[in-house]
Amino acid sequence: MLCKRIIPCLDVNQGRVVKGIQFVNLIDAGDPVEVAKQYNKNHADEIVFLDITASHEGRDTILDVVNQTAKEIFIPLTVGGGIRTTEDIKKILRAGADKVAINSSAVKNPHLINEGAKQYGNQCIVVAIDAKRNTEKGSWDVYIHGGRLNTNKDAIAWAKEVQQRGAGEILLTSMDCDGTKNGYDIELTKKVSQAVGIPVIASGGAGTPQHFSDVLTEGYADAALAASLFHFGEIQILELKNYLKNEGITVRP
């Protein structure tokens, strides 16, 4: 059985790690390089680094911060934000990232997924999906530009399409649960995980060790991502892994 992964997420805005609730009310959580170094020491399996305003502001990802971070850590690094072309993908990978996460650009230009996978390999391409429940339709809509714009795409259908186009992984964020600490959206995660044959990283809503256990078992997620819980020391990654191990979930030591 493949090990389930625990992944801290560094949302970066203007060169600082930030965290908010449902994509707003951001508060400062430190220097990204220093925060990443701590996670590297504290048994994180990977790190996701998202430049959360790059796409909305129409600018490139902060490459120098990516480069500095990559030099300081020895676990896989995924970087997203402001990636619009295969040239952007190349720059991020050359700066030291192992994978790139594309969201807004993938929706606007789905062929970017195909081209990125073709040029750099499926394992490099993570498609981030920000999904919000549509109560009228009984489904989830895909949002872009940091949760500012509803594309009216169905999240489950979009997940299937990105796999077909060559994505190697999906980073699935529940906008409804993000930052609430009330638990992941198990229903959404389960539906996406069952619809695709590639790994799904669950994001949005972690508040207790039980929440991680729930999404990794009931939600069929391959990995669980969190931010503020880890940033502010509410849960230590090693303690979380010990808890999951005691729950019968296979994790890396």
Active site residues: 11, 130
- The answer to whether 115 touches 169, Cβ cutoff 8 Å, is no
Task: Give CA separation, 32 vs 73, 98, 139, 214, 251, in Å.
Answer: 12, 17, 35, 29, 25
Amino acid letter at 160? K
Alpha-helical segments (H) within the chain: 32-41, 54-57, 63-72, 86-94, 104-108, 111-120, 155-165, 186-195, 209-217, 228-231, 237-246
For residue 52, give the DSSP letter. T
- The answer to whether 130 touches 147, Cβ cutoff 8 Å, is yes
